[in-house]
Homo-oligomer: A and B are copies of this chain.
Amino acid sequence: MAANSSVESIINNIRRVFQAFNDYSKRANMEAGLTGPQLWAIKVISENAPLRVCDLAALMFVRPGTVVGILDRLEKKGLVTRIRSQQDRRAVMIELSAQGKELVSAAPGVIQGDLIRGLETLPEEELLDIDASMARLVAILGVQQLKPLMIHGTDEAVQGDDTPAGC
């Protein structure tokens, strides 16, 4: 592998992984009838409930608007509840419904997802290699995302923050 080490071929490899991950993420999970993002949201909520929409968005590295759609679908399935906060009536507290909690306790493996199960089979050493590679990529992508002024010449909206959803 990687005998042809041109940037081109590596890029293609990366794109392919991302496409595969997207595919994996979006396909409905047969066992639960939920998509990857939906399963991920359930898992994050189960570990952090009660939490606000923007907190969930930050933990999932997406924008609040995206989480609203996911929550709409999970609420329609009866897996989560949205309750207006008393302290801050702008905020909405998210929790798992009884049915949602049942799902988590009954099938933790389903919630985990195939990706996590697959990675858990790797030796620690390889996990660290992958993590290091991810760190390099996030550095590249992060710099381009948050500091475009050096690249594009526009000096607006530059913040060195770490969390995509500021809340």
Determine if A98 is an interface residue (Cβ-Cβ < 8 Å).
no
A116 cross-chain contacts in B, Cβ below 8 A: 7, 11
- Cross-interface CB contact of A19 among B62, B120, B122, cutoff 8 Å: B62
Minimum Cβ distance to chain B for residue A17 (Å): 5
Whether A21 contacts B137 by the Cβ 8 Å rule is yes
Whether B152 contacts A30 by the Cβ 8 Å rule is yes
Chain A contact residues: helix, strand, loop or mixed: helix
- Cross-interface CB contact of A2 among B62, B131, B142, cutoff 8 Å: B131
Whether A115 contacts B11 by the Cβ 8 Å rule is yes
Whether A141 contacts B10 by the Cβ 8 Å rule is no
Determine if A138 is an interface residue (Cβ-Cβ < 8 Å).
yes
Closest to A31 in B: B152
A119 cross-chain contacts in B, Cβ below 8 A: 7, 10-11, 140
Whether B127 contacts A115 by the Cβ 8 Å rule is no
Whether A138 contacts B62 by the Cβ 8 Å rule is no
What is A's interface to B at a CB cutoff of 8 Å?
1-2, 5, 7, 10-11, 13-25, 30-31, 40, 60-62, 114-116, 118-120, 122, 124, 126-138, 140-145, 151-152, 154, 164
Could you name 25 residue pairs across A and B whose Cβ atoms are closer than 8 Å? A1-B135, A2-B132, A7-B120, A7-B127, A10-B131, A11-B115, A11-B116, A11-B119, A13-B131, A14-B130, A14-B131, A14-B134, A15-B60, A15-B61, A16-B61, A17-B141, A21-B137, A22-B22, A24-B145, A114-B151, A118-B141, A126-B136, A129-B129, A130-B133, A132-B133
Nearest first, the 6 closest Cβ-Cβ pairs linking A and B are A133-B133, A118-B140, A20-B141, A19-B61, A130-B133, A2-B131
